[in-house]
Amino acid sequence: MRKRAGAASVAVGKEGDRKSPSPPATVNLEKNVANQGGIHRIARGTTWPTRLTRDHGEKSSKGSANLIDGIVAQVCVRHYYAETQEHQLTAKIAGTIEWEMGGLQIDGYTVGIAVQDLSDRGRGSKERKTGADLYISVVLDGDEQPISKGMLVQAKWDDTFSSTDADMGEQLKNMLDRTQASHVWVYYPSGAISIPAIDVMNGETERNATTAGQLIAGGLGCTEGDPSIGRDTSKEIVDSLNEMLRELAADKAVGVTVRSRS
């Protein structure tokens, strides 16, 4: 089996399969591919599973994190040994989150998901890259004034991720110049870990590592996200996400809106 480009230093097993580096000990990704919320343990070559059940994660933000992590695990398992690039995998994850979680009911609230990107050609094209593969918008729309926050994500495969990589360091610097709510997602065969960009810049990749699902759930729980890059809730979501994509020069946006059902 062909090793992914740039992975020359990664060990190869007897059958030619690339051996993945292990994720940080502080983050358990294996649970993401076990049975949870309709997700079945997946082996390479098996039939792809059907839609996740929606009852999982309806009662807590922890459940939401588990559901998102399960979605990420599904996509990572499917594409880890393929020739999928990081930005392509990120797009597939975003699309699957939109498909699986749109209309989810959580503690009396309804979750809306919108995914979109902005063309890099023609009028309105991006002029300057921040290094972000993904812009995450989180809006909490209850009885009071909506709370709108944002986060930036740069994605890497586990075998190409290095805190000392000069190119990634420049990308992270550009992101951090815009917001401290910048993160690196590292894709493993069983899911993705999320590391604050500032930690990666400082060479610390384990202490504050969480999962992709925990990062997004943290936005819902008001512990993650930057209001200065939140989308404008007075505008239609398509317009406001386009506006933020242009401003931040990110490749893709995931808009998560949680509304009261009352």
In a domain, 255, yes or no: yes
Is the pLDDT reported for residue 235 higher than 90? yes
Query: Residue 261: its pLDDT value, please?
Result: 61
In a domain, 246, yes or no: yes
In a domain, 9, yes or no: no
The 10 Å Cβ neighbour count of residue 250 is 28
Q: Is 165 exposed, middle or buried (0-12, 13-18, 19+ CB in 10 A)?
A: middle
Query: Residue 222: its pLDDT value, please?
Result: 75
In a domain, 4, yes or no: no
Is the pLDDT reported for residue 215 higher than 70? yes
In a domain, 16, yes or no: no
Query: Residue 86: its pLDDT value, please?
Result: 92
Is residue 75 within 8 Å of 97, Cβ to Cβ?
Answer: no
In a domain, 1, yes or no: no
Domain tally, the chain: 1
The type of residue at 74 is: Q
Q: What is the DSSP letter of 18?
A: B
What mean pLDDT is predicted for residues 108-126?
A: 71
Is the pLDDT reported for residue 199 higher than 60? yes
Is the pLDDT reported for residue 188 higher than 60? yes
Torsion of CA 11, 163, 246, 237, to 10 degrees: 80
Query: Residue 185: its pLDDT value, please?
Result: 96
Is the pLDDT reported for residue 248 higher than 70? yes
Query: Residue 66: its pLDDT value, please?
Result: 85
CA atoms within 13 A on the CB side of 92: 17
Check residues 191 and 120 and name the one with the higher pLDDT. 191
Query: Residue 77: its pLDDT value, please?
Result: 92
- The closest of 250, 65, 77, 55 to 152, measured between CA atoms, is 250
Q: Which residue range is the domain that position 124 belongs to?
A: 30-260
Q: How far apart are CA 179 and CA 68, in angstroms?
A: 24
Query: Residue 46: its pLDDT value, please?
Result: 28
Residue 26, token pair as written in the block? 């502080």
Check residues 259 and 32 and name the one with the higher pLDDT. 259
Q: What is the pLDDT of residues 151-164, one digit of tens each?
A: 999 999 999 999 88
What mean pLDDT is predicted for residues 9-33?
A: 50
Q: What is the pLDDT of residues 23-82, one digit of tens each?
A: 766 666 665 544 333 333 333 332 323 333 333 333 446 667 888 999 999 999 999 999
Is the pLDDT reported for residue 201 higher than 80? yes
Query: Residue 219: its pLDDT value, please?
Result: 87
Share the mean pLDDT of the chain.
Answer: 77
Query: Residue 18: its pLDDT value, please?
Result: 44
In a domain, 5, yes or no: no
In a domain, 20, yes or no: no
Q: How far apart are CA 173 and CA 253, in angstroms?
A: 20
- The closest of 142, 107, 152, 139 to 252, measured between CA atoms, is 152
